[in-house]
Amino acid sequence: MHPNPSFRKTSRETNLAFARKRGFGVLSINGVDVPLSAHIPFLLSQDGTKIQGHLARSNPILRALKEKDDATQALLTISGPDAYISPDWYGVQDQVPTWNYVAVNLQGRLKALPAEDLLPHLSKLSAFFEARLLPKPPWLTDKVAPEALSRMLRMIVPVEMTVSSVDATWKLAQNKGDAARLAAAEGLQASGEEFAELAELMKKPPA
């Protein structure tokens, strides 16, 4: 996380809401020689205390969990919009280039769940993301032949992380004057539609 307190004033509720909505991040644990990580979709409970996801059975993180009695400290990093910020946009002298971004880190205890928890998890996970595609009829697991579904379920393992801490960086030029920050947001927005979300956050940083 960025050390500047200007970028770390968002509330726990704001950070958890961002993570919940994003639903995708990088799960990491300490390995023997190098850190181990995996990109995973996930569900975050409404109270922000539990994360449920799944990993391929062959993932090294699962092997490490077995060696550590199926529980270990883990970090889930959720990234949001990001972009290069040109110093020309601020409209003031003696500025330098930087990169603005949003990132939330959730730390906690990771463990593998029983196999019977997998199908309910996958049904909830797909329902969460399918809801964003309405009016498309939601995809359901019963659209997969039982034999094929059983075969695929054997290839993945459900996991759960109990969240113990929440940290976040919302680097949106809050350390600049309002006029400079807003000017930079306008410059970024004019650079392309792909920067619209970050530009809007820069105009009104969340609390």
pLDDT tens per residue, range 20-61: 999 999 999 998 889 999 999 999 999 999 999 999 999 999
pLDDT of residue 205 exceeding 70: yes
E-assigned strand segments in the chain: 24-29, 36-41, 43-44, 50-56, 71-85, 98-112, 156-171
Per-domain boundaries in the chain: 5-86+99-175
pLDDT of residue 70 exceeding 80: no
pLDDT tens per residue, range 91-116: 999 999 999 999 999 999 999 999 99
Burial track 140-171 (b if 16+ CB lie within 10 A, e otherwise)? eeeeeeeeeeeeebeebbbbbbebeebbbbbb
User: Which residues have C-beta within 8 Å of that of residue 144, sequence separation ≥ 6?
Assistant: 152
pLDDT of residue 89 exceeding 90: yes
Contact 90, 176 (CB under 8 A): yes
pLDDT of residue 135 exceeding 90: yes
CATH H-level superfamily of 5-86+99-175: Electron Transport, Fmn-binding Protein; Chain A (2.30.110.10)
Q: How confident is the model at residue 187 (pLDDT cuts 50, 70, 90)?
A: very high
How far apart are alpha carbons 67 and 89 in whole angstroms? 52
Bridge partners of 52, per DSSP, are 43, 160
Q: How confident is the model at residue 66 (pLDDT cuts 50, 70, 90)?
A: confident
> Omega of the bond prior to 135 within 30 degrees of 0, cis?
yes
How far apart are alpha carbons 123 and 30 in whole angstroms? 30
In this prediction, residues 175-183 reach a mean pLDDT of 97
Instruction: Enter the DSSP assignment of 174.
Output: T
How far apart are alpha carbons 103 and 101 in whole angstroms? 7
